[in-house]
Amino acid sequence: MPSLAPIIDRVAEAVVGVSTHHRSSSEPQLWQGESATESLGVSSGTGFIFHEEGLILTAHHLVAQPMTIAVDVPGHGRMDAELIGEDPSTDLAVIRLVLPPDDLSVLRLGDSDQVRQGDWVMTIGNPLEFDQTVGVGIVSHIKRHLQQDGLQLTNDYLQFTAPANPGSSGSPVFNMAGEVIAITARSARSGEGLSFAVPAKVIRMVLASMETNEGRVRRGYMGVEFVPADRSLARQLSISDGQGVRVTAVSVGQAAERAGLREGDILLSFNGRPITSGFDLYEWITWSTPQTDVQLEVIREGQRIPPVRVTLGEVGNAVNSGEEAETSPSR
């Protein structure tokens, strides 16, 4: 394997240290990527600059409810920053340098859809407060779905073997072209020698939603649980093997029930896109704008019925209603 030094020379100046003093009422969670002094309410980790105006992507749990945020920028020293966008469900946050220099180095997002199991990756972060530490490994799994804090959604993680230690949260994960393909995130499996990162595809969707919704991320919610349609059912209904999901539950009072969906319905397409994966359907629902209409092709009791139009709800409202989170795909 060739030396990674040329890549490091190009990207290292855009990788920053993030330190936060939290409000006294806040108890920052200690997940896979930060160090903290509990008595002082201090957390520290990593982030990276992604925009010339001083915008930095980092881990949300590092900067939740901050009193002050300080950023160590290579070549510029310690600078003040402010929180401008947050998404606890992906553990992502955007902070902005209060007085950004004119000559900031910036990292660009790559195409995480092109990442394959076995690809080499590199990280730069601040584990255990050792700044600008490089790690290298391979992608051990793609599309690893894990839940966050019991929320009713999973995240499409990239799993990799480069080490992640306290201080690594918010570290960029690079491909061998020096592009950011993911950002190291906290995980319920931390401490087990496993490293996880939010892929660039999800980062882009989070940033787009933050820009549209004044720093918030809004997600669609339908209120159904589903499993793939099995082969025998596919043959019985004369549909392609691998197409469709079977509705196993409909949440009371949520969008699916209001639209008339029933347990046992077979969903074949979503806004004209054939459903060949439960996780694809999950993603399409989640990243649709709340309060918009979507159209479903449905088989009920062996017969195709007219398309069902559903006005989506919103994930936060469903979570706040007290419903239980599910481990299977459910929206």
Q: Which residues are catalytic?
A: 61, 91, 169
Residue 111's contacts (CB-CB under 8 Å, 6 or more residues apart) are 179, 181, 200, 201
DSSP conformation letters of 222-250 = --EEEEEPPHHHHHHHT--TT--EEEEEE
DSSP state of 325: P
Dihedral over alpha carbons 247, 250, 256, 257 (to 10 degrees): 130
Between CA 259 and CA 269 the distance in angstroms is 16
CB 248 within 8 A of CB 327: no
Compute how many other C-beta atoms are within 10 angstroms of the C-beta atom of residue 214.
8
Nearest alpha-carbon partner for 199 in 210, 207, 191: 207
